[in-house]
Amino acid sequence: MANRRRKKNNRNRIILNCTKYLFIITLIIFVVVLIITSIFKPEDKQDEPQSSDTKITSQENTGSSAENGTDLPSGTGIAPDASDSPSPAEPAPDIDNAWAMFLVNSVNPLPDNYDSLIETEVVFKNGDREFSVDARIAPYINKMVADAKDDGIDLAIASAYRSMEYQQFNFDRSVQQRINDRGMTYDEAYADTLKEVALPGVSEHNAGLAVDILSGEYYSFDDDGFKNTKAYAWLSEHAAEYGFILRYPESKEDITGIIYEPWHYRFVGIYYANKVNESGLCLEEYFIEQGWAGADGVATEMTVSQSRTPAEIVVNESDGEAQVNIIV
Ligand SMILES: [Zn+2]
């Protein structure tokens, strides 16, 4: 009887052990499965929103605005998705001061009332003389002069904004000097003056966007000796960083209609200053290359439209004549 009970007990123990082992094995399998699924789950999770992002994007493209309204705020994956694939907005260049990119020359004059449309700011003093520019570019010229000084270069602004009235006075005086000093006729003197002094409205100085820069090393407009100075070397390297280009380069006289002026710098914004420099073109050529001016150099259209300030300037052609339309 006792023997049978022992046998029964043994069998019970074996069954119990088997159940225990089975339970442990099942538990191990369960844990292993749990670990495996937990390892692969995050990837699945990452995939899911991505595919739903694609859906959101396509919904955006098809223009279902009601759904977009609810989808966009929760779609946190949109930003990284957008950074991976270029969105339509991304390739747009970061253009600063696009308003300043327009042509002022003998065939693209400023309107008569331009003086009344711009605000000027004094940026440099030399004795009693004060030099001002369009107030919008004052911070750029101030920084350029200050940074040059830090590099041991003393830039001296020798001419900046000129009113239309002063430009006329300046022109007339130059004509008279040629008649008096060189014995030229009025017509000769007028034609000769045109090569060096612009008529009112066709000078960038009238727009407040140009500065003539010299230095203590060489303070003279009589010839192009300034090009041999450290100041000129510094400007050649750095002016574009502040939005300025050398406006009348050597060997471009036939296109600009102006002699080589190593001192005359024109503000066009940092973006375009670099673009024009990279192109190796003068501003007239750059406008023609961009399709903003015809072969005759007359600006027909401005295609840049970013960062416009209230005094928006659009150059176009009207009735065969070059005009600058200012949208205030
Ligand atoms: Zn100048």
pLDDT band at 292 (very low <50, low <70, confident <90, very high): confident
Q: Which residues contact 145 (CB under 8 A, 6 or more apart)?
A: 123, 124, 155, 157
What is the model's pLDDT at position 7?
57
Average pLDDT over residues 243-259: 95
Does the pLDDT of residue 132 top 60, yes or no?
yes
Residues with CB under 5 A from ligand 1 (ion): 212, 264
**Amino acid at site 306:** Q
More confident of the two residues 75 and 40: 40
- Residue 242 C-alpha to ligand 1 middle, in angstroms? 17
Average pLDDT over residues 65-89: 37
> What tokens does 292 get?
């903003």
> What tokens does 58 get?
């396509």
Q: What is the pLDDT of residues 22-40, one digit of tens each?
A: 556 665 565 555 554 454 4
Q: What is the pLDDT of residues 186-213, one digit of tens each?
A: 999 999 998 888 889 999 999 999 999 9
Instruction: Say if CB 103 and CB 293 are below 8 A apart.
Output: yes
- Residue 204 C-alpha to ligand 1 middle, in angstroms? 7
Does the pLDDT of residue 315 top 80, yes or no?
no
Say if domain 104-162+203-281 classifies as CATH 3.10.20.600.
Answer: no
Q: Is 294 exposed, middle or buried (0-12, 13-18, 19+ CB in 10 A)?
A: middle
- Residue 176 C-alpha to ligand 1 middle, in angstroms? 20
- Residue 67 C-alpha to ligand 1 middle, in angstroms? 58
Average pLDDT over residues 41-58: 34
What is the model's pLDDT at position 299?
84
Average pLDDT over residues 118-139: 95
Q: Which of 74-83, 227-236, 310-319 has the lowest mean pLDDT?
A: 74-83
0.85 exceeded by the pTM?
no
Instruction: Say if CB 162 and CB 174 are below 8 A apart.
Output: no
What is the model's pLDDT at position 197?
85
253 is catalytic: no
Q: What is the pLDDT of residues 143-177, one digit of tens each?
A: 999 999 999 999 999 999 999 999 899 999 999 99
43, 130, 196, 261: the active-site residue: 261
What is the model's pLDDT at position 111?
83
Does the pLDDT of residue 46 top 50, yes or no?
no
